[in-house]
Each structure stands twice: as C-alpha cells, then as structure tokens.
Amino acid sequence: MKQIAQYQDGRIELQDVPVPTAPPGGVLVRLTHSVISVGTERMKLEQARMNLLQKARARPDQVRKVLESARTLGWRAALEKVRNRLEMPTPLGYSAAGIVEAVDAANTRFRAGERVAIGGAECAYHAELVAVPDLLAAPIPQGVENWQAAYTTVTSIALQAVRQLQPMLGERVLVIGQGLVGLLVTALLRASGAQVMGVDVAPARRPLALAMGAQRVVIAGQQDLKHEVRDWTAGYGVDAVMLATASSSNAPTEQALEALRDRGRIVVVGKTKVDLPWETAYLKEIEVRYSRSYGPGRYDPAYEWAGMDYPIGYVRFTEQRNFETCLELMRSGTLDLAALTTRRAPFAQALEVYGKLLGESGASEAGVILEYDPKAAAASPPVLRAVPREPVETETVGQGAAAAPVPPAAAPTRRLDTPVTRLDVIGAGNFARTMLLPHLAGKIPLGTVVNHTALSANHARAKFGFAHAETSHEGVLADDARAAVLIATHHHLHARLLVAALAADRQVFIEKPLCLTRGELADIEAVLAGSGGSVLVGFNRRFAGAAVALKQALRAVPGPKTASFRVMAGPLDPSSWYANHAESGGRVLGEACHFLDFFCFLFDSAPVRVSAQAVWPTKGRLPFADSITAQVEFANGCCGQLIYSAEGDSTWPKEVCTVFGAGLVAEIVNFQTLALHTRRRRATHRYQGKGHPQEMAAWAAFLRGEAPHPVPFEETRRSTLLSLATLEALQSERTIDLS
C-alpha cells in the first residue's frame, strides 16, 4: 500500500509500505479521504528543512537529551542515536475518513463495510490503509459525505477549544488566526451564539472567515486592530480571545491582551508564544487556558489504546464523543465545510500538493482534502491477521511456587550444528535500530522486520537490508525452524512472543526483561524444555569491556566481595510508556533488572536473599516507586547493594559500580573507565560503550555455529527470579529468601 513519509531533511515521499494490522479491539480502515492540516503540516515541513543548528535552537530539550546520552554512552553512540532519529521517516496526517476493511475479534461496535471517521496522529495517517483503536473511530451518520467526515478530528480540536472558552450567548470573541482550526473555531462560536471578529495576516482568508460566520475580519498590517475592536465593542473590549496562531513572536498575545476587556479570558489552541506582560494581565485579571487536542482522553493510552472509556456521568464530552458531536453538526448543516475547502486532489498527487503548500500559494490554503481512488484500492485487498491479545494480568508478583527447574538438556550451552538461515526482527524502534541492528547487519542474513508502524518497518527494511517488512509477527514465526529472531518490543509482550518463538524452535535474542511475572517465567521454561531453540536476554552490561576486565581482576582476589552499584536514573516521565506499569513492569523489572543481573554475573553465584526499600516517592502519580534500594546476599558470601535513584545532580555520573575485595578496590564509571586500586597504586583503563556490540557479536557467532551460546539459561533464570523477588520485597516490606 502507499503512504506519505516525511524525512528530517525536508524530503517527502510516497512509499510502498506493509499493510498495517488492526490493534487489539480496533479496526483496519481503507481511506477514502484525508485532510491536510495546512498549518500543522506546513510547520512540520518547515522545521524539517532547518539545518542542525536551527533545529537545536528550536528544540533545546532535544539538545539536552543528546548531551545526556553523550555523557553516559559516549559521543559515538549518542551521535548514532541522533543520526538514526534524523534519518527515520515520520508519517503525516491525523484526520481522515474511510470504510472499515476488517475488524479485530474483540471489537463489537463496527462491521466491515461501515463508513467511519478516524483520528490520531499516531495512526490516522495519509495512507491507503490505516489501523486505529476503537475509541479513535466514529460511525458516519447518513447525510454526511466521507469528504466532510474527514474533517472530524481537526473539527474536534476546534470544538475542544470552544468548550474551554465557554462562550455565552451574545459574547464578543476575537479569533486571532484564521487558518483551518481558526476558521472552524469561528464557525463553532457562531453556532454557539457568540459574535466573532477574525484576525489574520493573509487577505485571502477574509472571504473564508466571513463565510464561516465572522461579523468582521481584520487583516493585520492593513487595518488597526485596536481601533477595530474599540469600534466593534463600544470601547469595552472583547469578552474573550482565541489564540489560533502558530508563531514564535509574542505579538499575537500582546494584541490579545490589549483587545480584552477587564476580567476577559484567553484560550490558546495554536502553538504560539504566550509571554504575558505582568502589568496588563494583572490589572485586567486575565484568565488563561490552554486547549489540548481533541478532548478528554487524548494522550491517555488507557483510553485511546486500551478502550477504557470515561463514564458519561463524569466526562460528558470525551474525545470520541466530540467526534460524534462534530459529525452531527455536519449532518445538520451547521458546519459549511465546502466554504473552507480550498483544494481537493487525488492522493497520487499528494507530493505536488505539499510542494504548493510550501510555496507562496500555501498561505492562501485552508482545507485541503486528499481523495483516494476506491477502484485502485479494491485491486489489492489486505490480508487480515488475527492478533492474539494479552490476557488481563490480575496477579501481582507474590512468593508463590518457584518456577520449575530447567532440565539440563534445555540449557543452551551447546554450539549449533547448523548455522541459522536468517534473522527476523520483531520491534524495530530507535533502540533496536541504534544499539542492536548495526552490529548484526552483514553478519547474518536478514529476513523479515516486523514493526507496529508500517512506515518504521519499511524504513528498517531499506536501511539494514531486510528481505521483507511486515506489521504482524504471526506469519514470520510460522516457518523455517532454523531461523533466529530478535525481539525488542514493549515489555508486556516479551513473554508471549518468546513462547511463540521457542515453540517454533527459534534461536531468540530478547531485550530485557525476560518476563514480568513468575507465571510467565514458568511458561517460558516449560516450552524451552521441549524446544530446539535458545534464549539470550539483553543484559548487555555483562559484555562490556570494563565489566569483563573487572571480573578478570576479581578472579585473583580471594574471599567474598562487596559491590555497590549507584544508578542516578533521573525521574521517570509520567507520560512515558515506562510509566505504564502494565506495559513496562515498572522500574525494578524494566530497568533495575540490568544491575541485579550484573551482580549475578560479577559474583558467579546464586542470590539467596534480598531486601528492598522504596525511597521516594512511595505514593503519587506513578504506580510504583521511582527510587529504590536493594541489598542482595549471594551463596558464596558476596553482597551487592543497589541504589537506583531518581534524584541527584546531572554532574554526577549516571552509573557507578564500586567493588571491595581483599587488597582491591575497583570502580567502573559509566562503563567508560575502570579504576583498579591495589598495592597502593591506581591504574585506570578506558573503554567504549556498555557492551551492545560485544553482545551482538557473541550472539552472531553462536548463530553461525562458530561459538557456544553466550549465556546459559540458568544464569538468566537466576537474574529474573532475583528481579521478581526484589519487587516482592518492595511490595511486602520484608526480606525474601530465594534459597
């Protein structure tokens, strides 16, 4: 199928990409129309054409992330991450309509052949086929044509802004910015009984604003807004201002303040600078609100992707109910969308349309519709794959019965008699593209790359030379037992995918963690016992040059050792998928597992006892502790202390491991330096990276039949049980015995 792809150097391409797969509970939709949000998409295209210095100035937050990566990973790895992000294409589009092509088994609202309006910058792309979750789709009522319904999402943005403004009948509202969203705001305010004055810099917007219901339209630079407002309001000033501009200048905000009456209000819907001069804002006692996208539910993964709707008694207008409201306004004729539609073009001519948007004529555009050829689309029907869903996990990690021991025959310490024929990859996000795949490309034949996003899958295929790209793993695991698979998905999918891969006798690399519950570990062990496959978990630090050298030094030190691993991880962003406990397993299972495994590697012994404490915060927005400490006792008398902290200062190294032994103190800093203190001397050694290249090299050698498996499964099992026990120690506030 075809999809529009935008690159960070400004290029736009119409690419052939894999057919997407309907998400759990969602639908696969064949588009008939999609709307180009001229202001938003033009801004994205202009930003993409900036040079690196301009991009750095525009996004200082991203510069800070690069500097942090360089501090912990080194400049080479940090620059590779930046390069991967810059060359990765991104989709365009978020407001569309079409016909349901296929329905996931868990969806009971929609039927194949039904017309729907869809939204979401994460799924409703400019593409022939899109896969969307249930609550980001709404049925199109009779009397509404598909081209009109394609405006539903962008109209919902305007509707949510109007709801934030709370206009009263007869109020006078100034709408600064008469782009697509501003024009829709004008129409909705007029429908609510407010009187509207529109403001824009482009004279071509005047007739559009008048057609959408504005009483007056002021063209900045040609008319004096201050005098126009005084005349229109009898000198009082407007009751409210809607800022629907996209500007790095503070001029629109200052104009809004000047135009407002005493105790007026401002709603910001555009991406614009809002720097309120204190004197004016204070004296008028201005109220400022921001409007966030389509309405309640936006950016909440539990609502959008898990289908957990908000009860209408508590949230009258959710994002989907805003969709339905907009469709009803279209059906009743309240919204005249033909008046703001300035261009309709075939999807095949999309690149030409974008070229015009970036030219001088782009400033006069408002509503631009891409029309998809239903005859051409029908010629290539998609293959619908059944996507199994995760069972709802209601059991917390408890003491329970320990997972059954792995029979010796299942422990993958052997060499492969026959090299694998190819490597497939499930999950090709930035981590896999940056830290894993560059070290495997050219060392093993690459088969199929699978990613939820079709554009990302296609990019990985082209970048690394995979034979195929798909959006579902089902067909990939169904053939060729002599193939390997790399799994780098979100954590909650690990166990299910691993069990399926081992059942297909695959040699598997899976990013940490191995699994999230003891039950999942038992399932993995059971299938591994009868499988011809093997498992390597992405505990890369045990492969790092500094780690290998430290372990070698410790072999010459008699008696037990004590290690202290201090990790300054920084606070977890509550909006990150890592903050979704159901997806990540929390910081202990999802992140601290690295360092618990490192203790097991360093001491070469089984953990027998662990105690743990949540430091801060122990309650609040996150469903788990952001900072923890843990103390682990090992069978050979060694002891490991982990301090995993969200607090600290950025001048301190992110990872510091100090080991005390007889006549030796050793310290690793960010796996870049190893200092050995012995015999009253200090020797410092320097290394690169945290072991990803060495880890991939060791696994590739195993896949080619040149070396034994890098890590016996029993070691992985020990580390996993230790992580689960550490979480249990936190939850129960007691010491957990693993012996």
pLDDT of residue 396: 32
Q: How many other CB atoms sit within 10 Å of the CB of residue 677? A: 16
Q: Is residue 562 part of a domain?
A: yes
How far is Cα of residue 657 from the mean position of the Cα atoms in its chain?
31
177-to-39, 256, 359, 718 alpha-carbon distances in Å = 10, 11, 19, 61
Q: Is residue 483 part of a domain?
A: yes
Q: Is residue 440 part of a domain?
A: yes
Give the tokens for residue 448: 């199929």
pTM score above 0.85? no
CATH number at residue 278: 3.40.50.720
pLDDT tens digits, one per residue of 493-526: 999 999 999 999 999 999 999 999 999 999 999 9
CATH number at residue 353: 3.90.180.10
Beta bridge partners of 678: 681
| End residue of a domain, out of 260, 290, 320 | 290
**Is residue 111 within 8 Å of 103, Cβ to Cβ?**
yes
Q: What is the 3-state secondary structure (H, E, C) of 577-602?
A: HHHCHHHHCHHHHHHHHHHHHHHHHH
Residues 58 and 99 in one domain: yes
Give the tokens for residue 378: 């029908």
Residues 226 and 361 in one domain: no
Residues 520 and 665 in one domain: no
Residues 527 and 546 in one domain: no
Q: What is the 3-state secondary structure (H, E, C) of 42-105?
A: HHHHHHHCCCHHHHHHHCHHHHHHHHHHHHHHCHHHHHHHHHHHHHCCEECCCEEEEEEEEECC
Residues 492 and 614 in one domain: no
Give the tokens for residue 491: 């954590």
Going edge to edge, which strands form the sheet with 736-737?
681-686, 673-678, 664-669, 655-661, 562-568, 639-645, 627-634, 607-616, 736-737
| End residue of a domain, out of 537, 554, 589 | 537
- CA within 13 Å, CB half, 263: 0
Q: Is residue 9 part of a domain?
A: yes
Q: Is residue 382 part of a domain?
A: no
CA distance 258 to 346: 44
Residues 103 and 226 in one domain: no
DSSP state string for 11-40? -EEEEE-PPP-PPTT-EEEEEEEEEEEHHH
The DSSP H or E segment spanning 695 is helix 692-703
Q: How many separate domains does the chain show?
A: 4
101-to-26, 128, 139, 252 alpha-carbon distances in Å = 11, 11, 14, 45
Q: Is residue 276 part of a domain?
A: yes
**Is residue 146 within 8 Å of 139, Cβ to Cβ?**
no
**Is residue 432 within 8 Å of 540, Cβ to Cβ?**
no
Contacts of 730 (CB under 8 A, 6+ apart): 588, 612, 613, 614, 625, 628
pLDDT of residue 358: 73
Residues 548 and 484 in one domain: no
CA distance 184 to 391: 42
In terms of residue numbers, what domain contains 427?
420-537
CATH number at residue 566: 3.30.360.10
pLDDT of residue 621: 59
Greatest Cα-to-Cα distance within the chain, rounded to the nearest angstrom: 91
Residues 132 and 54 in one domain: yes
pLDDT of residue 615: 85
Residues 590 and 730 in one domain: yes
Q: Is residue 326 part of a domain?
A: no
Residues 19 and 131 in one domain: yes
| End residue of a domain, out of 513, 537, 561 | 537
pLDDT of residue 377: 42
Q: Is residue 113 part of a domain?
A: yes
Q: Determine whether 432 is exposed, middle or buried from the number of CB atoms within 10 Å of its CB (0-12, 13-18, 19+).
A: buried
Residues 670 and 731 in one domain: yes
pLDDT of residue 304: 94
Residues 56 and 131 in one domain: yes
Give the tokens for residue 692: 């990803």
Give the tokens for residue 540: 């890369």
pLDDT tens digits, one per residue of 408-418: 333 445 789 89
Residues in the chain, pLDDT under 50: 376-412
